[in-house]
């Protein structure tokens, strides 16, 4: 932690550092964002924390003026071990809402004592503190930004009971949660919840939307580039619903609408939307590293804020990767639509993508693809359905190793899944035909080995470099054919 840099950012209220660190004020006992509008405390009276959970663990409570819960997400991969990054992903999916640190550590393949030590070393807070801060922040946002009843907020934030919800707020704020609601904005209709999700600009929203558009699963996903919206049917446990994300008018937030039959899965839904749009990324740091390459610098300048396109459903994107081997993007999209029609489920008039159990039982001979690829798809679904393969809980290297053991799945497919399913910022698809073409025509690199060697200077953000190179593929083609 560079205290000098953080102090300069605090004194100037630099928005680039919003969410990157938090300021604990010793004289008031609160922790703030570096952009807090209150009078700047004297330097001897502040402490710096790299996460909100660490500030809470040290005994500070969230500021009611700058609302730390509304800050952009902290980049989960930056400065952490692979185990901590994997643990954070599982906590974001609600692993500790009903489970224990012991069950979390078991999924990660380490002891609970070692996991606590890693979290304290890298985040300054134990896993339980991270989970509690996550629940508190989400509940506070719902109190401030919606008119949801308090009992529904408690359920949505993963507290399990209204009593636990009330006790936590009294312990942190020394008052009941209802007293923090100054007004009742919007509607209390649980059938349609609208929220703003913050991010760090710049954000090349149009490029991400276009990527999702050409790969949208027919009948399940819908993208309107003109209005800047992405929507799809969603499944969370036994609940089926619908979400929509739009660009919105706020240059630091995207708008989302969530329609679910209950509030139980709202926090997970928000986390997944953030994952799809890579909202926790720090583009200034990423672009700063990649911009040192003189060939990438003009691409970044022309389209700053590139994001890794994530996935709502890791299984769905894994299926997409398998069917997309050695076929065009359009061809893979057509096959995905056929799979959804044949094996998916329609609930309340909306088609939902098949669950692993459904595709695990299919006959490979019935699929519109080569037999070897169809068998790979069946085996992939079977391993996930049986719990033998967990797409979210593993690190990139172990995930790729497990995937390539399935006959018919090669390195390109495994790397694509690692990039989109778990958001690996350093995944690099050196064997991708489009990247190979761009490397040859733009970078003058004529072999996969040479491209891998060149990409070493882009670590640990090679996936973002790939996003920028993909973005100019169409322009190179237009130049060549014009």
21 neighbors 43 (Cβ within 8 angstroms)? no
Contacts of 174 (CB under 8 A, 6+ apart): 61
Rounded distance, CA 43 to CA 4, Å?
Answer: 11
Spot the catalytic one: 32, 63, 253, 256: 32
Backbone angles phi, psi at 195, to 5 degrees: -140, 155
Tokens 């919105």 map to which residue? 248
Omega of the bond leading into 145 within 30 degrees of 0 (cis): no
H helices present in 27-126, as ranges = 52-57, 82-92, 95-98, 101-108, 112-123
- For residue 44, what are its two tokens? 């001897």
| Strand 193-198 with 229-236, pairing | unpaired
For the chain, what is the radius of gyration of the CA atoms?
23
> Could you say which of 204, 278, 424, 432 is catalytic?
432
CA distances from 161 to 101, 165, 167, 168, 264 (A): 20, 6, 10, 11, 12
> Among this protein's residues, is 426 annotated catalytic?
no
- The residue written with tokens 């070393």 in the block is 121
Tell me how far apart the alpha carbons of residues 270 and 437 are, in angstroms, rounded to a whole number: 37
**Annotation marks residue 255 as catalytic:** no
**Burial (Cβ within 10 Å: 0-12, 13-18, ≥19) of residue 97:** middle
481 Cβ contact partners less than 8 Å away, ≥ 6 residues apart: none
Overall size of the chain counted in residues = 482
Encoded tokens for 306: 């590139």
Instruction: Tell me how far apart the 2 most distant CA atoms of the chain are, in Å.
Output: 71
Helical spans, DSSP H, in 216-290: 266-276, 283-290
How far is 371 from 407, CA to CA, in rounded Å? 11
* Catalytic residue list: 32, 432
């Amino acid at each position: 932690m560079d205290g000098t840099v953080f102090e300069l950012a605090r004194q100037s209220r630099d928005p680039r550092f919003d969410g990157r660190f938090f300021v604990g004020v010793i004289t008031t006992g609160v922790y703030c964002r570096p952009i807090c509008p209150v009078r700047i405390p004297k330097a001897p009276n502040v402490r710096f924390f790299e996460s909100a959970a660490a500030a809470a663990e040290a005994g500070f409570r969230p500021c009611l003026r700058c609302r730390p819960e509304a800050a952009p997400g902290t980049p989960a991969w930056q400065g952490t071990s692979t185990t901590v990054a994997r643990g954070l992903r599982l906590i974001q999916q609600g692993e500790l809402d009903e489970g224990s640190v012991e069950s979390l550590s078991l999924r990660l393949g380490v002891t609970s004592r070692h996991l606590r030590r890693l979290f304290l070393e890298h985040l300054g807070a134990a896993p339980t503190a991270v989970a509690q801060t996550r629940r508190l922040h989400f509940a506070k946002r719902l109190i401030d930004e919606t008119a949801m009843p308090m009992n529904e907020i408690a359920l949505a934030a993963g507290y399990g009971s209204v009593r636990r919800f009330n006790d936590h707020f009294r312990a942190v704020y020394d008052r009941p949660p209802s007293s923090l609601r100054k007004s009742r904005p919007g509607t209390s209709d649980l059938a349609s919840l609208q929220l703003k999700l913050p991010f760090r600009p710049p954000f090349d929203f149009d490029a991400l939307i276009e990527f999702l558009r050409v790969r949208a699963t027919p009948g399940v996903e819908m993208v309107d580039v003109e209005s800047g919206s992405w929507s799809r049917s969603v499944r969370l446990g036994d609940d089926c619903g619908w979400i929509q994300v739009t660009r919105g008018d706020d240059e630091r937030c995207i708008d989302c609408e969530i329609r679910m039959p209950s509030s139980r899965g709202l926090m997970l839904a928000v986390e997944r939307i953030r994952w799809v749009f890579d909202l926790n990324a720090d583009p200034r740091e990423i672009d700063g590293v990649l911009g040192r390459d003189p060939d990438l610098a003009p691409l970044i300048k022309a389209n700053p804020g590139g994001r890794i396109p994530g996935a709502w459903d890791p299984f769905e994107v894994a299926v997409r990767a398998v069917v997309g081997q050695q076929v065009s993007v359009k061809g893979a999209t057509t096959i995905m639509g056929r799979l959804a029609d044949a094996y998916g489920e329609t609930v309340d008039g909306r088609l939902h993508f098949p669950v692993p159990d459904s595709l695990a039982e299919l006959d490979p001979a019935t699929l519109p693809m080569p037999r070897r690829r169809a068998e790979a798809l069946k085996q992939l679904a079977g391993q996930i359905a049986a719990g033998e393969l967990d797409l979210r809980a593993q690190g990139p290297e172990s995930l790729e190793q497990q995937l390539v053991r399935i006959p018919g799945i090669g390195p390109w497919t495994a790397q694509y899944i690692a990039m989109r399913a778990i958001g690996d910022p350093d995944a690099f698809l050196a064997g991708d035909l489009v990247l190979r073409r761009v490397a040859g025509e733009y970078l003058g690199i004529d072999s996969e080995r040479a491209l891998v060697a060149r990409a070493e200077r882009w670590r640990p953000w090679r996936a973002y470099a790939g996003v920028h190179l993909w973005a100019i593929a169409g322009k190179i083609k237009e130049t060549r054919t014009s």
